[in-house]
Amino acid sequence: MALFARTLSNAVSRYVLPKYDAILSSQLQAIQTRSLPIVWSSTTWHQEFYNSKTDLVDESEERTKYLESKEDFKYVERLIPSLEVPEPPKHDSYPTPSGWSPPKGSPEGLPYHVRRTRYHSHPVSIQQKHGGNQIWTIVKNVDGDIWTFGNKLLEHLEEVKGAEVGMTINEYAKRVFYKGVFKDDVIKWLENEGF
């Protein structure tokens, strides 16, 4: 096997490489003299001539005139969607028919605060893990002393359920996880607290 490999490498270096060296050197000579682009095809090197795009534009023709108007931009601005969610409208009574109510304002002296989402709703969601075998209620956007908030809400949920509830806190993400489905109970508690 080694003899065959050595024979093959000798044949390649003796017959094939000089042939390609001659092709490459002729192509390089053409580049140096004419400055033409080279394109690789699957078999050999060849030159390709391109028409420049400036040949397609007639510079002697007069270009189209236009007028810039900043006054008419107000009509265009109405069509551009806003990057911010608008403030919710004022209602006569709360909660609204959809169940939404604005934050009342948390009492002074609380070591924690729960911010609403950018859509003015409570940051509470349900997450299913392991194919639905584990269901967690997640409270997000908890600022301040997250442990005090977590334990206070845990006491309320255990009182509502009448049993022990599992809790996990992720301080870095500002999230508190409660094992079970407590979304409605957590939202009512947050509204009562003023968030």
CATH number at residue 119: 3.30.780.10
pLDDT digits (tens, 9 = 90+) for 107-155: 788 899 999 998 889 999 999 988 888 999 999 999 999 999 999 999 9
Tell me how many domains the chain contains.
2
CA angle 151, 104, 174 (to 5 degrees): 40
Would residue 99 count as lying in a domain? no
Kindly state whether residue 162 falls inside one of the protein's structural domains.
yes
pLDDT tens by residue, 148-163: 999 999 999 999 999 9
70 falls within a domain: no
CA 171/CA 169 separation, integer angstroms: 6
* pLDDT tens for each residue of 69-83: 788 888 888 888 888
Q: Give the domain range for residue 36.
A: 2-51
Residue 75 included in any domain: no
> Model-level pTM?
0.57
What does the pLDDT look like over 14-72, one tens digit per residue?
A: 555 555 566 656 665 665 555 545 454 444 444 444 445 555 666 777 888 887 878 88
pLDDT value of position 48: 45
The Cα–Cα gap between 144 and 152 comes to 14
| 171 belongs to a structural domain | yes
C-alpha triplet 34, 36, 42: angle, nearest 5°: 135
- Does the residue 96 lie in any domain? no
The last residue of a domain, from among 10, 26, 51: 51
